[in-house]
Structure 1
């Protein structure tokens, strides 16, 4: 096992380097970088961050800006050095877990991630727990009642929910329940009210749940189908195996056969996905959901960083999330052995 873990850890290094190198190379050819944006601001042509793509397309050189100023701007952002030297310096910093400093927020990337993470954690964890707490019992019930009217009706419901994009459902929820054309039962934006600090403990809990209801509903509905159908198919496959027929032939009750014999084997493909799903809940932010409900999370941070060409944030978060993803994948593979001792590393 330890040899397998060591080999997987060593393979993470070239994978991580390849992802960073590919992204870094692509960045070198993307127009509208921070130097061009600063030059545009000095010329008074554009001072906003949302039009970075348009600025890149319309940039036509210095056009009157002093050459010394341009060189100073390049030194400010570190573009006075060759690309390979900048890449090597970046890798050295990442080896020390120094993700750099944002060009536009003027904060360390670590600080930005920590600031935005609570919103993403709120959405992700609620989505994770609600998805599994509802989908696994529902999948088991569908497997036990396979072919029944209950099975057909629930399949229709979860598949319709899967087919509706989260942001479309979010728009519908806002129109129906957040002061659109009908009632205003829920707030339009943020995770808490402005006076949240003055509320009692119970008041804070109620206020938080009041704000999080619509975003979580829009996020969680589409995730039911995959987990529910995976659970159902896994249980159906186990129920039809010979050892289940043998247990029934020995006179064991249906409940005992289901929970003592089928349950553990059927949950193997689901349990092994827990680590990646749980860790992903912290970082898998939805840009559209966050934008729709005015939530300032990692999804919006990533989008704004790309638009503004904030390369330290883009590359720093990419490095962090890729590293977490690779480690999580290793943990998921190790869970196979923990759940099913028949699995061998060789």
Structure 2
């Protein structure tokens, strides 16, 4: 096990390098880099229209932001344009910029945002509590609901309970989480009916003045609607996965043998079936957590005015804030790889018979 963990940890390094390199190459091919963005602002144009980019490219620009040549730009002094390129580091070649970025990341220095006047690390730490709150509680509640429900459906397969719950789950799966969020605001956050919950923010304005109990209640009061929207829109897959895993195990010979020996239903289900059926569920935990943590909560953050990592990464990509884009990408990828490793290690906690050394062999 220890040798396997060491190998996996060492494998994280080339994996991170490959992901950063691939995304760096893709970004170079994307039009409208930070230099174009700044020139467009200085010339009074919206960079999203691409008007300024077409005026300043001069026909001699390299694809994307890398190494762009702004000869022929109108309305701005070429010296000013060169100063902007130097300010954003685009006076250097793409390989040189990538190498400088890697050296900085090796020291966990993600640089400074182009447009926010703040260190990328500070921005990530500032937005992290919102994303952790949404991802952690949503995933936890989703598993607490889906696993017991999936087991109940498996043991009552074909019954009216199974049919009705399946219908409700499919309806929840068919409606996107952001539509549930809008509906919850309309119903319970002062939209048209009740004002039982806040519609924005993670805490109240007087949060610092509350007692410890008051802070906890205020925190969960603000999270109630966002987490409900995320859970309703995401727990269907896990529920059906749990049900199908248990159904597959229940039909195997060792279960028939255990029942023939006179073991009770609960003893068969939780003493024998549970350990084998849960392996597949555990395998999906990292992707479920990372999916809600980083991507699934983006629209929820926007709807409920929660300033988290999803919104930060989205705005950085739109504005071509490359230090923030690559800083968040590095953190997302690293955390995803670590969580995946933790998921593999958890296999052995559920079933000690698993031997990673023999699997590698």
What is the aligned partner in structure 2 of residue 18 from structure 1? 18
> Cα–Cα, structure 1 residues 149 and 57, in superposed 2: closer, same or farther, change >3 Å?
farther
The 1-side partners of 2:52 and 2:231 are apart by 38
Whether contact under 8 Å (2:34, 2:321) holds in the other structure is yes
Indicate the larger mover: 195-204 or 228-237: 195-204
Superposed displacement of residue 7, structure 1: 4.4
TM-score (norm 2): 0.88
Question: What's the counterpart of residue 266 of structure 1?
Answer: 277
Would you say the 8 A contact 1:191–1:208 is kept in 2?
yes
Q: Measure, in 2, the Cα distance between the counterparts of 1:54 and 1:20.
A: 28
Unmatched 5+ stretches in structure 1: none
**Equivalent residues in 2 for 1:89-168 (5 A)?**
89-168=100-179
Distance 2:202 2:291 in 1: 20
Secondary structure class of the residue paired with 2:114: coil
Does the CA contact (< 8 Å) of 1:37 and 1:55 recur in 2? no
Q: Could you tell me the TM-score, scaled by structure 1's length?
A: 0.91
Instruction: Tell me, in whole angstroms, the C-alpha distance in 2 between the residues paired with 1:52 and 1:207.
Output: 40
User: 1:184 maps to which residue?
Assistant: 195
What residue in structure 2 maps to residue 238 of structure 1? 249
Q: CA deviation at 1:306?
A: 0.8
Does 2:64 align with 1:53? no
In structure 2, the CA distance between the partners of 1:56 and 1:248, relative to structure 1 (3 Å rule), is farther
Look up the match of 2:238.
Answer: 227
Tell me, yes or no, if the aligned pair for 1:177 and 1:183 is still in contact at 8 Å: yes
How far has the Cα of 1:10 moved from its partner? 4.4
In the superposition, relative to structure 1, how do residues 289 and 242 fare at CA in structure 2: closer, same or farther (>3 Å)? same
Displacement, 1:272? 3.8
Distance 1:342 1:213, change over 3 A: closer
269-278 or 217-226, which deviates more: 269-278
Query: Which residue of structure 1 aligns with residue 205 of structure 2?
Result: 194
Aligned length: 341
Contact 1:34 1:308 in 2 (8 A): yes
Alpha carbons of 1:89 and 1:58: their partners in 2 closer, same or farther (altered >3 Å)? Answer: closer
- 2:347 corresponds to 1:333: no
- CA apart distance, 1:321: 1.4
Deviation string, structure 1 residues 1-25 (Cα, Å, up to 9, x no partner):
4554454444434332222122112
Q: Is the 8 A contact 2:40 2:52 kept in 1?
A: no
Distance 1:283 1:339, change over 3 A: same
Structure-2 residue corresponding to 1:67? 78
Q: Which moved more, 1:321-330 or 1:134-143?
A: 321-330
Selected match of 1:315 from 326, 340, 361 = 326
